[in-house]
């Protein structure tokens, strides 16, 4: 086989490995994403639990980078300090070694069975978790095939005199080994692939043990470079703290390990005489040693990173609170007023999301869908800031009316954020699904949806006004809108079914999508009503447990 063809095959198998890894990650995130976020969110309150969560989540996701991005999201939202986030990354680095330990055994024979199982699961209804779990099995099978073919492709060249001469020259320069392995790992975005290739070279005697260990050190360094170069968006230095902290501690570990490479080589030879297994064990022990050394130093290390990479405040950042004055905490009435003004910004952001979702459903613009989704992050950040600010107020300094107003602000902010979640998790995926599959609503159906969304925006503006005025008449009108919205949904659903029975060209899939959008619009309206109308009517004694009371005191 000619050398150019071999290079193409090599690149193709590496691409297959990366694609398999991508399928596993996306399948896991779609199936267990909320649970993994919950695990990390609860574990980040304690460095020991954070470390263990980093190991477990990375072993499942097969990517320390994916774990790091999840943790970075918590840190960006102000939900976690840098110290436990660094603990997660120490655990994530150990978690990646577990993948190497499993794949270091000959498990390629299981690839066809995994792909078959994945195919059968993937063929099921795309709305079920089983479908996404099928992606995981298919991805695992593709990874095993790619790794097996990579090793098979490289094996004939391991005995080539020219390659052995080149490897022999490289083996005498450990620093060069580290740089080459780091560059290769950065290029292929996979330390797993690099370490497995090094294991193959070591097993066939193409490189001596010490050179193999140096190459493994380079793989550990290279995998920490990608998040620094590619995982940081924006120009805020604070966003670089976590990836830079991970890179620096790995770089320190690589320097120390290079200085002790001779004794380490003799120790590993005593632990395992199999060169391939020695490489896998060294990879694991290196990351365990880094965790042991840096774990007690996380607090001062995090403080140093914060001083070196201070947060840059962007006045134009829509997620930055404008009215939460720290000095006003001593005066509750002023603090509550500022929090209420901040909560109104949530309504403005939600209105922008509704306009974006309406246009996305109508026009089918991918760029608009992405822009609208980013607004949900603004809602999340502002809601978190409001909750943190209000819960920091001294409860003993608040009067009864202050406590009631605080609860109303928290209720309003929570419902605005939950309504935004419905837009982000339901309406926008519906728009993306319509665009991807080329679905078309009937003219009547699309007109109904657009009219309901316009009415939704009107109700949102009414709720924002009611939040500031506490007018009981407006509250009752807004609650009546909930009944009217339910009737609109029922009428729209009925007319939709009538069009289907009349033989209109709506497909079954379009029909299901239409009804899903209707239900989601009603859910959003429910959050809007609950955000402002219910507290006013409850305080006035006009809200029954299940419905609004009429003027005669009877249930309406």
Buried b (16+ CB within 10 A) or exposed e, 17-45: bbebbbbbbbbbbebbeeebeebbeebbe
- Closest listed residue to residue 314, CA positions, set 378, 227, 229, 371: 378
Tokens, residue 473: 């008449």
pTM: 0.56
Q: Is 549 helix (H, G, I), strand (E, B) or coil?
A: strand
Helix H or strand E segment including 27:
helix 3-43
Helix H segments across 44-128?
Answer: 47-61, 64-76, 82-103, 111-122
Structure tokens at 288: 């365990």
CA distance 347 to 106: 57
- Who's near 170: CB < 8 A, 6+ residues apart? 176, 177, 180, 207, 211
Please give the distance of CA 292 from its chain centroid, rounded to a whole number. 28
Backbone angles phi, psi at 494, to 5 degrees: -65, -45
Provide DSSP, 424-452: IIIIHHHHHHHHHHT----HHHHHHHHHH
User: Can you give the pLDDT of all 556 residues of the chain as single tens digits?
Assistant: 565 776 787 778 878 877 887 787 667 766 665 566 566 666 666 788 888 888 887 776 666 666 666 666 555 545 567 888 888 889 888 988 887 887 767 667 788 888 998 888 888 766 567 877 888 888 888 877 887 776 677 666 555 555 555 556 666 688 988 998 898 888 777 777 788 778 877 876 777 888 889 999 999 998 888 777 765 445 567 767 888 888 999 999 999 999 998 888 888 878 877 888 888 899 999 999 999 999 999 999 989 988 888 876 555 667 788 888 777 777 777 788 889 999 999 999 999 999 988 888 877 677 888 888 889 889 998 999 999 889 888 887 788 888 889 999 999 999 999 999 999 988 888 888 887 777 777 777 788 888 888 999 999 999 999 998 888 899 888 888 888 878 877 877 777 677 667 765 555 567 677 788 888 998 999 999 999 998 888 887 777 665 555 555 444 4
Q: Nearest to residue 456, comparing CAs of 504, 429, 489?
A: 489
Q: Of 272, 373, 386, whose CA–CA distance to 325 is shortest?
A: 386
What does the buried/exposed string (b/e) look like for 433-471 if buried means 16 or more CB atoms within 10 Å of the residue's CB?
Answer: ebbeeebebbeebeebbeebbebbeebbebbbebbeeee
Counting beta carbons within 10 angstroms of the beta carbon of residue 162, is it exposed (0 to 12), middle (13 to 18) or buried (19 or more)?
exposed
Residue in the structure block whose two tokens are 């690839």: 111
Q: Which two tokens stand for residue 219?
A: 């793989």
User: In 10 A of CB 383, how many CB atoms?
Assistant: 23
SS3 195: helix
Rounded to whole angstroms, the Cα distance separating 525 from 482 reads: 7
Please tell me the distance from the alpha carbon of residue 484 to that of residue 526, in angstroms, as a whole number. Answer: 12
SS3 234: coil
Q: 272: burial class by Cβ within 10 Å (0-12, 13-18, 19+)?
A: middle
What confidence score (pLDDT) does residue 233 get? 46
Q: What is the pLDDT of residue 168?
A: 60
pLDDT at 287: 92
Nearest to 196 by CA among 211, 177, 214, 216: 216
For residue 300, give both structure tokens. 């001062």
Measured CA to CA in angstroms, residue 381 lies from 32, 245, 328, 349, 452 at distances of 23, 24, 20, 12, 28
Q: What is the 3-state secondary structure (H, E, C) of 329-389?
A: HHCHHHHHHHHHHHHHHHHHHHHHHHHHHHHHHHHCCHHHHHHHHHHHHHHHHHHHHHHHH
Residues in the chain: 556
Give the pLDDT of residue 554: 47
474/486 Cα distance (integer angstroms): 19
Q: Phi, psi at residue 438, to the nearest 5°?
A: 65, 35
Matching residue, tokens 């609004």: 548
Q: How far apart are CA 165 and CA 174, in angstroms?
A: 16
Cα(129)–Cα(149) distance, integer angstroms: 31
Q: What token pair was written down for 50?
A: 């954070």
- How far, in Å, CA of 554 to CA of 556, rounded? 6
Pairwise CA distance, residues 124 & 8, whole Å: 35
- The whole-number pLDDT of residue 319 equals 77
Cα–Cα nearest to 224, from 194, 202, 203, 196: 194
């Amino acid at each position: 086989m000619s050398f150019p063809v071999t290079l193409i095959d090599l690149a193709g198998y590496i691409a297959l490995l990366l694609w398999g890894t991508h399928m596993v990650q996306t399948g896991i995130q779609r199936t267990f994403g909320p649970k993994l976020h919950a695990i990390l969110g609860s574990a980040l309150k304690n460095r020991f639990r954070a470390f263990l969560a980093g190991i477990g989540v990375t072993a499942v996701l097969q990517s320390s980078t994916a774990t790091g991005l999840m943790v970075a999201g918590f840190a960006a939202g102000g939900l976690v300090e840098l110290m436990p986030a660094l603990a997660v990354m120490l655990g994530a680095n150990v978690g990646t070694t577990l993948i190497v330990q499993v794949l270091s055994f000959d498990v390629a024979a299981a690839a066809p069975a995994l792909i078959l199982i994945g195919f059968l699961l993937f063929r099921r209804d795309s709305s079920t978790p089983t479908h996404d779990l099928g992606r995981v099995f298919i991805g695992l099978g593709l990874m095993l095939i790619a790794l097996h073919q990579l090793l098979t492709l490289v094996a004939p060249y391991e005995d080539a005199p020219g390659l052995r001469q080149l490897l022999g020259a490289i083996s005498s320069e450990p620093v060069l080994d580290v740089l080459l392995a780091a560059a290769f790992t950065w290029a292929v975005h996979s330390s797993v692939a690099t370490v497995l290739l090094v294991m193959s070279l070591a097993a066939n005697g193409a490189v001596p043990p010490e050179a193999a260990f140096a190459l493994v050190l380079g793989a550990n360094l290279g995998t920490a470079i990608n998040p620094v170069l590619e995982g940081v968006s924006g120009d805020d230095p604070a966003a670089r703290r976590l990836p830079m902290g991970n890179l620096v501690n790995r770089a320190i570990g690589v320097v120390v390990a290079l200085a002790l490479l001779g004794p380490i080589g003799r120790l590993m030879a005593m632990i395992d005489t199999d060169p391939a297994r020695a490489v896998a064990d060294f990879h694991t022990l290196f990351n365990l040693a880094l965790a042991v050394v840096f774990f007690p130093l996380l607090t001062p290390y995090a403080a140093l990173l914060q001083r070196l990479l201070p947060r840059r405040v962007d006045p134009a950042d829509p997620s930055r609170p404008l009215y939460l004055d720290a000095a006003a905490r001593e005066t509750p009435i002023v603090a509550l007023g500022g929090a209420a003004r901040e909560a109104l910004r949530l309504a403005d952001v939600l209105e922008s999301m509704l306009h974006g979702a309406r246009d996305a459903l109508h026009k089918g613009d991918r760029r608009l869908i992405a822009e609208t989704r980013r607004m949900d992050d603004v809602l999340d950040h502002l809601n978190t800031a409001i909750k943190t600010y209000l819960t920091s107020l001294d409860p003993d300094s608040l009067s009864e009316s202050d406590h009631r107003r605080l609860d109303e602000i928290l209720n309003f902010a929570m419902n605005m954020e939950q309504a935004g979640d419905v837009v982000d998790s339901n309406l926008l995926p519906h728009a993306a699904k319509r665009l991807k599959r080329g679905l078309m609503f009937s003219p009547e159906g699309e007109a109904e949806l657009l009219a309901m969304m316009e009415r939704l925006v009107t109700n949102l503006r009414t709720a924002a006004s009611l939040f500031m005025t506490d007018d009981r008449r407006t509250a009752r009108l807004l609650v009546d809108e909930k009944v009217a919205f339910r009737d609109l949904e029922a009428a729209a659903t009925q007319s939709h079914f009538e069009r289907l029975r009349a033989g209109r060209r709506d497909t079954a899939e379009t029909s299901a999508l239409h009804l899903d959008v209707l239900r989601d619009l009603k859910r959003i309206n429910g959050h809007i009503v609950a955000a402002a109308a219910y507290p006013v009517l409850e305080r006035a004694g006009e809200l029954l447990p299940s419905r609004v009371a009429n003027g005669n005191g009877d249930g309406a």
